C-alpha cells in the first residue's frame, strides 16, 4: 500500500531552481564553462532525469552538458524527462556502445563540447567531466581544453539542502520506516532474511522509490562481521537481526536507517544487550556533537571512545552525508586514520551518525544509525523509527 504523505509543501519549481543554482555556483567557483554530468544521481539532481538509472551506473549512455548561463543539453536520453530540456543524439561513451572505436567517439564528443561552448557564448576553455572513460579526457586535452574532475562540482553542490529537499528526504524516510515496521511485524523463527528484505524492497517500489544500494539484512551468526547481504538463512529464536535500508526512495532521495532487532520468544542474552547499549551510547554521544561549525577533525577527536575490542569490525565511518545517496562528507573513526579532507558541518547538511559494535570472533553484533539535518541550534532528527526496548532495558 502506498504511503499517505503530504508533499504539497514541496515547491517543484523552487526545488529544481535550487539544485540547478547549486551546480552553477560550484561551476562559477571552479571557473568552469561546461560541466558534463554522467552519474545517474547527478542527472536526477540536475534535471530530474530518472530512466534506467542502474543501467546508466555501469553502462553510461546518457549525459548532460551544463553551462553557467545557458540552457542545458541532454544527450542520448531515453525520454524527455524534464520539460524545457533540449535533447540531442549524442556519442557513445561506454564500451558496450562504442567498442574499440571509443577514441573516435571521444574525439567527436569533444567537438560537440567546443561547438556547445561557442553556442553558449563561453570564451573559456575549462571543462569538468564526471565519471567517464579516459578517452574523453585525453581527447579534450588534445583539443587544448583544460579538464578537471566534475565530481568536485556535483558532490559539493549537493551538500546543502533547501526546505524542499528536506521535505523529500523526510518523505523517503517515512517510506523506509514503513518497510522497517513490516520487517519488525514479520520477525519470527523460521522466516528467511530474503523474505524480510523483500518487505522493505516492496514498500519502496510501491511508493515509487528507486532502489537499494545493498541488501544489508543479516541475522544470527551472519550479523558479525557487518557488510554481508541477505541470504536464504532462516531466523531462530534468540537471534539478532540487523538491517540498513540504504534506500534511494521516492523523488530520488535517500533514506538511511539502521536498526538491530531481537527475534523471540527466547530472551536476549546479557551480551546482546551489552552490545546494543554500547552502540546506542555511541550514537547518542556523537549526535550531541552535531552542530554547525564543528570541524571534521574536531568531531573525530571528540567522538565516542570505542573500546579496542570493537575496532577491527567497527563501521567504516562515524558520520557521512546523505542526499540522493551517501554523499560528502565522511568522518572516519580516529583509530582508522585521518579524514580524507578538511571541512566543517554546515546548516542544511543532512548526515547520518553510525555505529556497529561486534567483536572479532563473536557471533553477535549491533548496527544502529540515525539520520538528521544540521540546524542553527544543532540538529533535527529525521529518523523516527524506535529503538529495541528489550535490548535497551
Domain endpoint, select from 141, 157, 173: 157
Q: Are residues 177 and 310 in the same domain?
A: yes
208 within a domain of the structure (yes/no) = yes
Which is it for strands 86-88 and 211-212: parallel, antiparallel or unpaired? unpaired
- Residue 83 banded pLDDT, cuts 50, 70, 90: confident
On whether both 131 and 217 belong to a single domain, the answer is no
From the centroid of its chain, how far is CA 47? 18
- Split into its structural domains, the chain has a count of 2
Does residue 4 carry a pLDDT above 60? no
| Nine-digit cell string for 142 | 588534445
The x, y and z cell numbers of residue 230, run together, are 541477505
Q: Domain containing 35: what range? A: 12-24+31-157
Q: pLDDT value at position 327?
A: 96
CA pair distance 321, 327, nearest whole angstrom: 5
Would you say residue 169 has pLDDT above 60? yes
Residue 125, all three cell numbers: 576553455
Helices (H) and strands (E) in the chain, counts: 12, 17
Does 269 lie in the same domain as 151?
no
Same-domain pairing of 214 and 146: no
Q: 9 or 101: which carries more pLDDT confidence?
A: 101
Q: Are residues 368 and 238 in the same domain?
A: yes
Q: Tell me the sheet residues that pair with 146.
A: 126
Same domain? 196 vs 288: yes
Phi-psi region of 361 (alpha: psi -120 to 50; beta: other; left: phi over 0): left
The cell numbers describing 292, all together, are 554547525
2 in any annotated domain: no
At residue 124 the predicted structure's pLDDT band, cuts being 50, 70 and 90, is confident
Same domain, 264 and 354: yes
What are 57's three cell numbers?
551506473
CA 186 to chain centre: 27
Here the CATH number for the domain that contains residue 105 is 3.40.350.10
189 and 336 part of one domain: yes
CATH number of domain containing 238: 3.90.230.10
Is 188's pLDDT higher than 80?
yes
With respect to residue 319, please indicate whether it lies within any of the assigned structural domains: yes
Q: Which three cell numbers stand for residue 174?
A: 517515512
Judge if 123 and 263 occupy the same domain: no
Q: Is the pLDDT of residue 100 over 90?
A: yes
Per-residue pLDDT band at 28 (split at 50, 70, 90): very high
Query: Cell 557487518 maps to which residue?
Result: 226
Residue 195 lies in a domain: yes
pLDDT of residue 81 exceeding 80, the answer is no
Kindly state whether residue 7 falls inside one of the protein's structural domains: no
Same domain for 216 and 121, yes or no, is no
Q: What is the pLDDT of residue 163?
A: 96
Model-level pTM? Answer: 0.95
Q: pLDDT tens digit string along 228-264?
A: 999 999 999 999 999 999 999 999 999 999 999 999 9
- DSSP labels, 118-166: HHTT----EEEE-S--HHHHHHHHHTT-EEEETHHHHHHHTTS--HHHH
Q: Are residues 19 and 123 in the same domain?
A: yes
Residue 6 lies in a domain: no
Q: Is the pLDDT of residue 154 over 90?
A: yes
What local confidence, expressed as pLDDT, does residue 132 receive? 85
Domain boundary among 112, 133, 157: 157
- The model's confidence at residue 5, banded by pLDDT at 50, 70 and 90, is low
pLDDT of 82:
67
How would residue 164 be classed by pLDDT, with cut points 50, 70 and 90? very high
**Residue-wise pLDDT tens digits, 343-363:** 999 999 999 999 999 999 999
The chain-wide mean pLDDT, for the chain, equals 95
Q: Is 225 inside any structural domain?
A: yes
How many residues in the chain?
393
- Would 3 be classed as within a structural domain? no
Say whether both 129 and 185 belong to one domain.
no
Grid coordinates representing 98?
Answer: 562504442
Domain boundary among the residues 125, 157, 189 is at 157
Amino acid at each position: 500500500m502506498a504511503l499517505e504523505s503530504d508533499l504539497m509543501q514541496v515547491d517543484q519549481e523552487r526545488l529544481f531552481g535550487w539544485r540547478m543554482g547549486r551546480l552553477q555556483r560550484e561551476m562559477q567557483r571552479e571557473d568552469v564553462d561546461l560541466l558534463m554530468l554522467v552519474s545517474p544521481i547527478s542527472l536526477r539532481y540536475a534535471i530530474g532525469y530518472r530512466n534506467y538509472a542502474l543501467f546508466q551506473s555501469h553502462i553510461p549512455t546518457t549525459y548532460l552538458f551544463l553551462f553557467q548561463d545557458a540552457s542545458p543539453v541532454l544527450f542520448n536520453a531515453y525520454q524527455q524527462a524534464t520539460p524545457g530540456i533540449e535533447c540531442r543524439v549524442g556519442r557513445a561513451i561506454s564500451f558496450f556502445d562504442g567498442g574499440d572505436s571509443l577514441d573516435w567517439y571521444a574525439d567527436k564528443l569533444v567537438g560537440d563540447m567546443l561547438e556547445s561552448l561557442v553556442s553558449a557564448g563561453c570564451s573559456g576553455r575549462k571543462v569538468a567531466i564526471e565519471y567517464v572513460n579516459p578517452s574523453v579526457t585525453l581527447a579534450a586535452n588534445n583539443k587544448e581544453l583544460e579538464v578537471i574532475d566534475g565530481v568536485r562540482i556535483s558532490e559539493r553542490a549537493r551538500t546543502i539542502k533547501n526546505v524542499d529537499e528536506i521535505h523529500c528526504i523526510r518523505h523517503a524516510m517515512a517510506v523506509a520506516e514503513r518497510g522497517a515496521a513490516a520487517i519488525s511485524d514479520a520477525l519470527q523463527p523460521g522466516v528467511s532474511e530474503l523474505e524480510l528484505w523483500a518487505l522493505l524492497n516492496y514498500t519502496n517500489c510501491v511508493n515509487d522509490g528507486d532502489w537499494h544500494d545493498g541488501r544489508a539484512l543479516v541475522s544470527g551468526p551472519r550479523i558479525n562481521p557487518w557488510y554481508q547481504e541477505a541470504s536464504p538463512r532462516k531466523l531462530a529464536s534468540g537471534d539478532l537481526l540487523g538491517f540498513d535500508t540504504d534506500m534511494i526512495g521516492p523523488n530520488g532521495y535517500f533514506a538511511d536507517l539502521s536498526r538491530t532487532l531481537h527475534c523471540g520468544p527466547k530472551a536476549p542474552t546479557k551480551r546482546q544487550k551489552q552490545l546494543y547499549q554500547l552502540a546506542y551510547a555511541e550514537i547518542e554521544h556523537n549526535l550531541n556533537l552535531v552542530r554547525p561549525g564543528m570541524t571534521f577533525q574536531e568531531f573525530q577527536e571528540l567522538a565516542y571512545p570505542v573500546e579496542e575490542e570493537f575496532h577491527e569490525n567497527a563501521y567504516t565511518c562515524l558520520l557521512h552525508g546523505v542526499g540522493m545517496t551517501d554523499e560528502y562528507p565522511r568522518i572516519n573513526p580516529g583509530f582508522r586514520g585521518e579524514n580524507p579532507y578538511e571541512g566543517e558541518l554546515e546548516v542544511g547538511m543532512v548526515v547520518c551518525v553510525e555505529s556497529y559494535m561486534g567483536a572479532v570472533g563473536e557471533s553477535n553484533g549491533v548496527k544502529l544509525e540515525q539520520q538528521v539535518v544540521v540546524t542553527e541550534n544543532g540538529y533535527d532528527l529525521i529518523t523516527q523509527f524506535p529503538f529495541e526496548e528489550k535490548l535497551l532495558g
